[in-house]
Amino acid sequence: MSEIHGIDSTRVPKHVAMIMDGNGRWAKEKGQDRIFGHFNGVKAVRASLKAARRAGVKYLTLYAFSTENWNRPKEEVEALMDLLVQTIVQEVKELDNNDVRLNAIGDLESLPGSCHAELQTAIDQTKDNDGIELILALSYSARWELVRAVQNIVKDNISPDAVSEELIGSYLCTHSIPDPELVIRTSGEHRVSNFLLWQIAYSELYFTAKYWPDFREEDFFDALRDYQSRERRFGKTAEQITQTGNE
């Protein structure tokens, strides 16, 4: 068995999705503004991407801004959008050098023009890379995505008999991305918060009490080790899984 950090390289999840939570509380505990927490959250983004790449994960999705986050105070929303543009502009070369393909899911049209434009430039610049795909969920919520999918299915005059799991999947933002095998949420909250509801039907959920700005490579490896210790049954019995091999 080939291993890094005690992780079996033959059973690494292809897709890991992360709910980055706890920036505000992290900052508050330090007597700082919530925005200070978001700034420090960028270190955890870098660390997670690096760890995922080293472990051989092929898709990493980060819940960076939910549809509901538009309801936060105006200054916080503006600061988050600025931080996003700044980070993308600063990191795009590094992403490209490290064979990272950037992608984004969500209601991207609702982002401020500069944010949408920089994002699109970075996506275009990195489109031929295939080390790992970094997917930013921006102005995203699973219910928004499902409503949009149903609207488009109806607009396309799809007959009821033609509606299948595959067809619905093909109308989601994630149509070209495999479902995540593992979802990680930081900050001790045990919720999925409107994130990839269709896609995580069989995902393993991993929760850590660490606030997002403190999350580092070793924490990502802990989550992978925990994932590898679980038996994934997909509705079958343990005996059936042992006979056919654990995924």
Q: How far is the CB of 211 from ligand FPP (least distance, A)?
A: 7
Q: How far is the CB of 87 from ligand FPP (least distance, A)?
A: 4
Q: If binding means CB under 6 A, how many residues of this protein chain bind ligand FPP?
A: 20
Q: Is 69 in the site for ligand FPP (CB under 6 A)?
A: yes
Q: How far is the CB of 39 from ligand FPP (least distance, A)?
A: 8
Cβ proximity to ligand FPP: between 6 and 188 the closer is 188
Which are the contacts of 5, defined by CB distance < 8 A and separation ≥ 6?
55, 218, 221, 225
Positive or negative, the CA dihedral 14, 19, 20, 25 is: negative
Give dist(CA 86, CA 83) in Å, integer: 5
Convert 95-131 to b/e letters by CB count within 10 Å (16 or more is b).
bbebebbbbbbbbbeebeeebbebbeebbeebeebee
Strands (E), 25-147: 59-66, 100-105, 132-140
**4, 81, 83, 205: which one binds ligand FPP (CB under 6 A):** 83
Q: How far is the CB of 35 from ligand FPP (least distance, A)?
A: 9
Cβ proximity to ligand FPP: between 74 and 155 the closer is 74
Structure tokens at 106: 């969500």
On whether the CB atoms of residues 149 and 168 are closer than 8 A, the answer is: yes
The size of the chain, in residues, is 247
Segment lying near ligand FPP (by CB under 6 A), choices 41-49, 107-115, 160-168, 234-242: 41-49
Segment lying near ligand FPP (by CB under 6 A), choices 5-13, 79-87, 193-201, 238-246: 79-87
Structure tokens at 217: 């490579």
Q: Is 22 in the site for ligand FPP (CB under 6 A)?
A: yes
Question: Other C-beta atoms within 10 Å of 239: how many?
Answer: 8
Q: How far is the CB of 131 from ligand FPP (least distance, A)?
A: 18
Cβ proximity to ligand FPP: between 7 and 214 the closer is 214
Cβ proximity to ligand FPP: between 13 and 37 the closer is 37
Structure tokens at 26: 């992290």
122: left (phi over 0), alpha (psi -120 to 50) or beta: alpha
3-state secondary structure of 68: helix
Site string for ligand FPP, 84-123 (x = CB under 6 A): x--x------------------------------------
Q: Is 208 in the site for ligand FPP (CB under 6 A)?
A: no
Give dist(CA 130, CA 139) in Å, integer: 25
Query: Which residue numbers are catalytic?
Result: 21, 69
The residues binding ligand FPP (CB under 6 A) are 20-25, 34, 38, 41-42, 45, 62, 64, 69, 83-84, 87, 136, 187, 212
